[in-house]
Amino acid sequence: MQVQNSFQTEQGILYLVATPIGNLGDITLRALETLKSVDLVYAEDTRITYNLLKHFNIDTKILNYHEFNKEVQGPKIIEQLKQGLNIALVSDAGTPIISDPGYHVVDLAVQNNLSVVPIPGANAAISALIVSNITPKPFTFYGFLDSKPSKRDKELTMLKDLKQTLIFYEAPHRITKTLEAMLKIFGDRKIALAREITKRYESVIRGNISEVLKISDNLKGEMVIVVEENKQVVVTTTTVIEDVLALIKTGLHPKDAISEVSSMRNVAKKVVYQEYLNWKDNNEL
């Protein structure tokens, strides 16, 4: 176990600073104060961050940290934090680490008992979820699906039975193919496609996958797909206890069999557990 008292440290702090996803008005006061006061800003793309900082008259030194140099830059950042420098990490837009670089350096910082502090702000996934009009919880944030169709379809198949709202990031040139795959694998579920959030041409398209597919070829810009959970009711001729016992017979631990049946049938785990206990009472001793 490790307890981080974020601001009680002699060493530098790693701030994860969210930046706007399109509308500069979404930068927070705390983000501006942090970007101004830290010793260094590490950015996914220094040019993009230079323009952002320039807009707000901030002249903190910017260095780069991205997927392709993280192995070199990560340890360098850790050394600088140990020397007492405060550092902000930003991505091109939105919240760092969320489908953006940063996880690797957070891991190193935590391993080295350094404080990692969030400066929350814009995020496309949560913004899309709250306007989607699709049940907001529970939800799974998936981010980008694999670009290879066979791997993408495997990922969708794995997600198919989840009783959770699903959130995906997608690029406009792949949206039609992705929706076609979703239609094939998920069925014609309710979705919301939130485009260009916080920008001038923001739009939210709510409908079934087949309806959105009729216009998806013409959709441009940045987009998030929010997909309704699997609402299919599983029709079975077996009883709950028969399902649990059948799974135990295949070698599953009773605890796992109960979990599996609970999610398969969408029945509370404690109900399945109670059935199992009743069965045990009647069939053992």
Closest to ligand SAM by CB, 127 or 230: 127
Smallest gap, in angstroms, from Cβ of residue 17 to ligand SAM?
Answer: 12
- Residue 137, classified by CB atoms within 10 Å of its CB into exposed (0-12), middle (13-18) or buried (19+), is exposed
Distance of CA 157 to the CA centre of its chain: 18
Closest to ligand SAM by CB, 204 or 245: 204
Smallest gap, in angstroms, from Cβ of residue 194 to ligand SAM?
Answer: 6
Smallest gap, in angstroms, from Cβ of residue 93 to ligand SAM?
Answer: 5
Closest to ligand SAM by CB, 16 or 114: 16
Starting at the edge strand that comes first in sequence, how are the strands of the sheet with 223-227 ordered? Answer: 139-144, 165-170, 223-227, 190-195, 203-208
Which residues contact ligand SAM by CB under 6 A? 21-22, 91, 93-95, 98-100, 123-125, 169-171, 194-199, 222-224
Smallest gap, in angstroms, from Cβ of residue 51 to ligand SAM?
Answer: 16
Closest to ligand SAM by CB, 80 or 132: 132
Smallest gap, in angstroms, from Cβ of residue 147 to ligand SAM?
Answer: 12
Closest to ligand SAM by CB, 97 or 252: 97
Closest CB to ligand SAM: residue number = 94
Smallest gap, in angstroms, from Cβ of residue 192 to ligand SAM?
Answer: 11
Place of tokens 């190193």: 108
Closest to ligand SAM by CB, 122 or 247: 122
